[in-house]
Structure 1
Amino acid sequence: MSEQLVANELLAFLQQKLDVMDEVSAVQICASNFSEDDVAAAKQLLYRLLNKSDQMVSRRRDGTKKSIQDIITLLKETDPDDVPTFVAKDLSKLPPVTFDHVDVTCLLKDIVFLKASLADVQKQLDASQNTVASLRSEVNELRKSVAVTRSPVDASCNVNTRRGACLDVSGASFASAVLSPSPLSPPNAESAQCAPRAPSCPARVPAAPPLAAARLLDQLLVSAASAKPSGVRREYASVAGSTIGAKMKPVPVKGPDRADDDGFVMVQRRKRRQRTNKNRCGTAPIEPNIKIRAAKPNTLVYISRLHYTTKAEDIVEYVRQKLKYAPRVQLLESRHNANFKAFVVRVPTCFLHLVLDENFWPQGVVFRRFRGQVPQDRTEGHSA
């Protein structure tokens, strides 16, 4: 509704109650509580505010109810933003709306729709709660598996695990330790100890879920492949027929991508090759006796609305007087029967700012930069 406020009790009542009651009840209430003069005045006021006075129909017989029906029809057909806001100046004139005038069927439909919407929302809420509960349980299980896989080994090994020295085990024993389905050892169980003068440090690896075990195996393989041996002999494929140990055998890296002691490889961006076959521009001075000279770049300019008697030579002469330069001019043929001519003028780019100035061309001539493809010059044209 518009911000304009207009005082009229009948129009204010209809504007506010048409959304909650049917037209028949609204017509009956207004006909029994407002006089015929009030209805006629409200009708004229509404049509006048909406600038539709010429469309207003005059009612002779039973004009009250028909006029009210006309008002209701106009309010429903007009955009609410174009209708001003009607207010009541005398509240005693507003008719009361009892339960008899309310459409009970519409209310029942609204109640049924609200119940269905509420049930749908409840189902969605239950489904979301179940999803959140399952996600929480999965997160808790992942936290437990990570905590188990990160359990510290006995510090008596005195081995730098960062460089993978503690991974000097055979392939079969390593795979069986990681993928073993044995139950978890108690927290106070005796940790693995390193045997003196032994080339390897076997440790008890607790069982983990399949996904966590696979990830742990991949991480250990990567760290073992990138680690550098530090005085400890590695025997990954010591067991005959062990494919896992064969895969775990480190491969020496040659070239500039060799890893450092910590397993990191320096990555450098390759330099782009410089192009040797690129264009160059001459700088030798121009002498009078030299016939070789560089061509000046030209820009096409479109001029139109010229008199039908104008020729290309006239435009060449006009531009020569202005710029001391004779351009190439080409006539454009029109597909329609026009009473004027249009041309394309090839102007040096250095003179473009002068040619596109409004003071350059005579009054009434239309000009701009030419767009499109220039047709072949068949009939009329001039070359400098």
Structure 2
Amino acid sequence: MSNNLVVNELLAFLQQKLDVMDEVSAVQICATNFSEEDIAAAKLMLFTVLNKRDQMVSRRRDGTKKSLQDIITLFKETDPDDVPTFVAKELHKLPPVTFDRVDVTSLLKDIVFLKASLADVQAKLDASQKTVVDLRQEFNEFRNTAAVTRSSADASNANTRRGVSLDLLSPSSVSAVSSPVRTSIAEIAECPPRAPRSSVPVAAAPPCAAARPRPLCPAPLPEHVAPAKLLHRDFASVTASAPAAPISKPLPDKAMKKADNEDGFVTVQRRKRRTQASRNLCGKAPATPGASVRAAQPNTPVYISRLHYTTKVEDIVEYVRQKLKYTLRVQRLESHRNVNFQAFVVRVPNCFLHLAMDEDFWPQGVVFRRFRGQIPQNSTIKI
């Protein structure tokens, strides 16, 4: 809204009430409380202030309501920043807004619409809360399942043959570890205790004794697991027709050495890389001047452009020969567009590259850089 202040009671009333009232009620109130001359003067003032007097339509029949409608339409179609601020000098001319002059039906419709919108928002809120509760419950179930799975995985990964004590495992994990073992209590009782390791060498057993299978002794049971529970196991499924358990093969000497570490860990060393028999070698013999066998010099293609259209390949070769005392290979590039300059590619040896990439090497106005891309083979010129 503009900072300019214009005194007019009718325009001040409409400017303030159009945001909260419907057009029918506003037209009815203004037509009742303002005269036809006041309405015509207000209309003329509004169109004059907004520089739209040429668009004003004169109303002859029923000009009061139509003029008010023109004023309301102009208020709505004009940017509020371009409309000046209308004020009232005589406040008693401002009509009161009462219920007998307001369309109550529109208000009731607005109230019904607000109630429906509020009910919709409440339904969406209830659905969102229910979804949050379901997600929270699913998350708790997933977390409990993950905890149980982790505990069972830790119990199954425990290596009791390395000396890990079964006292560290939970009762559920102990039952999970000991359930696959199908042995009898008598067999456990007959298994003698493991003899301490002695440094005295023991004589080798005869071949017949080494080939005879020997029952494996399970790890000692923890103290908190009662032997009475093991007596109730079902051994009826074990019959004479069941296949015999595979005989464990003796571990090789290297494996026994690795398993004999005190802490139960094995030191792993990185395997040395083998020397490649076909790797490239570089000669070091001094090169003889004029020898027929000599190393090729690596070169780098340099792109030069913006040369005069009359420049030839021979001119570039002669220019470089005068600068470097060396003859280079030069190739002219064909442009896909119609240009008025020439472009070339110069193959510069790496030993002269720092000189060719100097700004003082090429004439003024010549553009140069390292060549990017693939050099076309059909237009190569060797000089």
Residue 347 of structure 1, CA deviation: 1.1
Separation (CA, whole Å) in 2 of partners of 1:337 and 1:132: 69
Q: Which residue of 2 aligns with 1:131?
A: 138
Q: Which residue of 2 aligns with 1:64?
A: 71
Q: Report the aligned-residue RMSD.
A: 5.7
Query: 1:302-361: per-residue Cα shift (whole Å, max 9, x none)?
Result: 222222211111111222222222211111122333222211111112322332333332
Residue 254 of structure 1, CA deviation: 1.7
Task: Tell me: CA distance 1:279–1:366, structure 2 relative to 1, closer, same or farther (3 Å).
Answer: same
Task: Tell me: CA distance 1:197–1:292, structure 2 relative to 1, closer, same or farther (3 Å).
Answer: closer
Separation (CA, whole Å) in 2 of partners of 1:115 and 1:89: 42
- Asked if residue 322 in structure 1 is aligned to residue 329 in structure 2, the reply is no
Task: Tell me: CA distance 1:329–1:176, structure 2 relative to 1, closer, same or farther (3 Å).
Answer: closer
Query: 1:279-320: per-residue Cα shift (whole Å, max 9, x none)?
Result: 122222222252322211111112222222111111112222
Task: Tell me: CA distance 1:103–1:129, structure 2 relative to 1, closer, same or farther (3 Å).
Answer: same
Q: Which residue of 2 aligns with 1:260?
A: 259
Residue 89 of structure 1, CA deviation: 12
Separation (CA, whole Å) in 1 of partners of 2:326 and 2:53: 75
Q: Which amino acid aligns with 1:376?
A: Q
Separation (CA, whole Å) in 2 of partners of 1:139 and 1:124: 22
Task: Tell me: CA distance 1:114–1:318, structure 2 relative to 1, closer, same or farther (3 Å).
Answer: same
Separation (CA, whole Å) in 1 of partners of 2:25 and 2:315: 80
Q: Which residue of 1 aligns with 2:293?
A: 292
Residue 104 of structure 1, CA deviation: 4.8
Separation (CA, whole Å) in 2 of partners of 1:268 and 1:285: 43
Separation (CA, whole Å) in 2 of partners of 1:315 and 1:301: 12
Task: Tell me: CA distance 1:125–1:241, structure 2 relative to 1, closer, same or farther (3 Å).
Answer: same
Separation (CA, whole Å) in 2 of partners of 1:344 and 1:301: 6
Separation (CA, whole Å) in 2 of partners of 1:340 and 1:349: 27
Q: Which residue of 2 aligns with 1:276?
A: 277
The higher radius of gyration belongs to 2
Residue 246 of structure 1, CA deviation: 2.0
Structure 1 residues 1-384: aligned runs within 5 Å: 59-61=55-57, 64-71=71-78, 103-104=110-111, 107-108=114-115, 110-131=117-138, 134=141, 163=163, 178=179, 198=192, 204=226, 246=245, 250-254=248-252, 256-258=254-256, 259-261=258-260, 264-378=265-379, 381-383=381-383
Residue 43 of structure 1, CA deviation: 6.6
Task: Tell me: CA distance 1:195–1:295, structure 2 relative to 1, closer, same or farther (3 Å).
Answer: closer
Corresponding pairs, count: 284
Query: 1:128-164: per-residue Cα shift (whole Å, max 9, x none)?
Result: 3433564577689889999xx9xxxxxxxxxx99648
Q: Secondary structure at the match of 2:345?
A: strand
5+ long unaligned stretches in structure 1 = 11-16, 45-55, 76-83, 150-159, 167-173, 181-191, 209-237
Q: Which amino acid aligns with 1:283?
A: K
5+ long unaligned stretches in structure 2 = 7-16, 31-38, 58-66, 167-174, 194-216, 231-237
- The answer to whether the Cα contact below 8 Å between 1:329 and 1:381 also exists between their aligned partners in 2 is yes
Task: Tell me: CA distance 1:263–1:357, structure 2 relative to 1, closer, same or farther (3 Å).
Answer: same
